[in-house]
Amino acid sequence: MPSDIVVGLQYGDEGKGKIVNFLAERNEYDYCVRYNGGANAGHTIYIGDKKIVTHQIPSGIIRGIICIIGDNCYLDPVKLKAEIELLEKNNIEVKTKLYISNKCHYISHKHISDDCSNNIIGTTGSGIGNVARDKYFRIGMRVSNNPSLLDFLPKSSIIDVSEFLINHYTNNLAFPRLLIEGAQGFGLDITHGDYPYVTSSHCISTDCLNLGIPLSSIGKIWGIAKIYETYVGSKNFQDENDKILQQLQIVGEEFGSTTGRPRQCNYLNLTNLIKSCWVNNITHLVINKCDILEKVNDFRIYYTNNNNIPLLISFQSLLEMQIYIRSQIINSIPFVKDVLFSDNPNGI
Ligand code: IMP
Ligand code: MG
């Protein structure tokens, strides 16, 4: 099937941008599509030594793929304009390659100031909870209500996504091949995450169906995790006295790509990872940043025993830990076909 999904399995920042870039390079897709989140996301990609961060625009733009910001995304037009200018300054063509759903809800200055002035859970301050509140309270403003806020783009950039995709099918007699890029991750999902320390969208793979695409057009579902965990926000996630975790934060350069905040670090929770692979129907799992763990030279995971108590298990080497993780995942979930470990920032 022609469309693949890339989805985060932890708390965002798992390295989805890198995998989208890796897949986009193969030139097998017609469109790269975002289906959730908004300016709260930060997808980092390295091209050679150059670090490029996208927030609202799908990362496929960097490889010249036509990009779509989907119906359920929250759109900040001011930040979008700035993001386009920054990418174009870096010689990345955006204006002729970007489509935006007419159903996206606009994030306003008021949403942002309300978010920043009442920020108990440690949001990114992008107005996400506030725009979501207005959307579900049915008082929001969609792109179709005021397209002039996007007057820096050609008029034809604003589309009805499902009609656009049906037209593609009618004209080509083939399903559009979509590279579908999730934002945030399972632990931040409004339903499945650790409520209230979550974002205000669904971050799981199946939410991409709200783009108006047929379920039967989905092929591979790439789940992205790190071999340790990070989280940005107000809850207590990292044992402050644990020297290994402090080292992981420094060696792994764990600072937010959107806000610059330090990311709290913890050991991989294998029980949560298995659940996340299950709910997201992952077919291909990528576990990133193995090089960082190797440098810190400490190999531990949390895994829940039969009494539901999370235990910390230690391994002698990275390889021993990887073999254990792979076998537990493959044995627990029948549809995971491959578990890949990455030890570099550019690829798998
Ligand atoms: P919001 O999405 O800005 O409302 O923030 C809600 C929670 O999700 C906070 O803990 C944020 O730090 C976190 N969050 C939102 N987007 C991202 C992301 O792209 N990466 C990592 N954490 C995120
Ligand atoms: Mg990020």
Q: For helices 318-332 and 270-280, give the axis angle rounded to 10 degrees.
A: 40
Q: Per-residue pLDDT averaged across 305-326, rounded? A: 92
76 has catalytic annotation: no
**Per-residue confidence (pLDDT) for residue 237, from 0 to 100:** 96
Locate the domains of the chain by residue range. 3-104+147-224, 226-341
**Per-residue confidence (pLDDT) for residue 259, from 0 to 100:** 83
User: Residue holding tokens 């992205």?
Assistant: 224
- Of 72, 79, 68, residue with least CA distance to 36: 72
Residue in 13, 30, 115, 298 annotated catalytic: 13
Write out the two tokens for 152: 């820096």
**Residue range 153-182, pLDDT digits in tens:** 999 999 999 999 999 999 999 999 999 999
pLDDT at position 305 over 80: no
**Percent helix, strand, coil in the chain (nearest 5)?**
35, 25, 40
**Residue range 281-300, pLDDT digits in tens:** 999 999 999 999 999 999 99
Residue in 4, 30, 43, 71 annotated catalytic: 43
Backbone angles phi, psi at 5, to 5 degrees: -115, 145
- Mean pLDDT for all residues in the chain: 95
Q: Rounded distance, CA 43 to CA 130, Å?
A: 22
**Per-residue confidence (pLDDT) for residue 126, from 0 to 100:** 97
Q: Per-residue pLDDT averaged across 105-115, rounded? A: 98
**Per-residue confidence (pLDDT) for residue 62, from 0 to 100:** 94
Q: Rounded distance, CA 219 to CA 185, Å?
A: 20
pLDDT at position 348 over 90: no
Could you tell me the distance, in angstroms and rounded to a whole number, from the CA of residue 255 to the centre of ligand 2? 9
13 has catalytic annotation: yes
**Per-residue confidence (pLDDT) for residue 86, from 0 to 100:** 93
pLDDT at position 306 over 80: no
Q: Rounded distance, CA 177 to CA 81, Å?
A: 27
**Per-residue confidence (pLDDT) for residue 49, from 0 to 100:** 83
**Per-residue confidence (pLDDT) for residue 314, from 0 to 100:** 97
Q: Taking the model in full, what pTM does it have?
A: 0.96
pLDDT at position 78 over 80: yes
Which CATH number, 3.40.50.620, 3.90.170.10, 3.40.50.700, 2.70.170.10, labels domain 226-341?
Answer: 3.90.170.10
pLDDT band at 257 (very low <50, low <70, confident <90, very high): confident
**Per-residue confidence (pLDDT) for residue 43, from 0 to 100:** 87
**Residue range 11-21, pLDDT digits in tens:** 999 999 999 99
pLDDT band at 71 (very low <50, low <70, confident <90, very high): very high
Probe target for ligand 1 pocket from 44, 59, 126, 184, with the most ligand atoms within 8 Å of CB = 184
Superfamily covering domain 3-104+147-224: Adenylosuccinate Synthetase, subunit A, domain 1 (3.40.440.10)
Q: Per-residue pLDDT averaged across 40-52, rounded? A: 86
Q: Which ligand is nearest to the CA of 231?
A: 1
Give the residue whose CA is nearest to atom 11 of ligand 1.
123
Percent of the chain with pLDDT over 70: 100
Q: Rounded distance, CA 42 to CA 73, Å?
A: 14
Q: Rounded distance, CA 184 to CA 41, Å?
A: 7
Q: Per-residue pLDDT averaged across 78-82, rounded? A: 96
Q: Per-residue pLDDT averaged across 107-131, rounded? A: 97
Probe target for ligand 1 pocket from 124, 186, 200, with the most ligand atoms within 8 Å of CB = 124
User: Residue holding tokens 């725009």?
Assistant: 131
Q: Which atom of ligand 1 is nearest to the CA of 41?
A: 19
Alpha helices in 37-126 (DSSP H): 77-89, 109-117
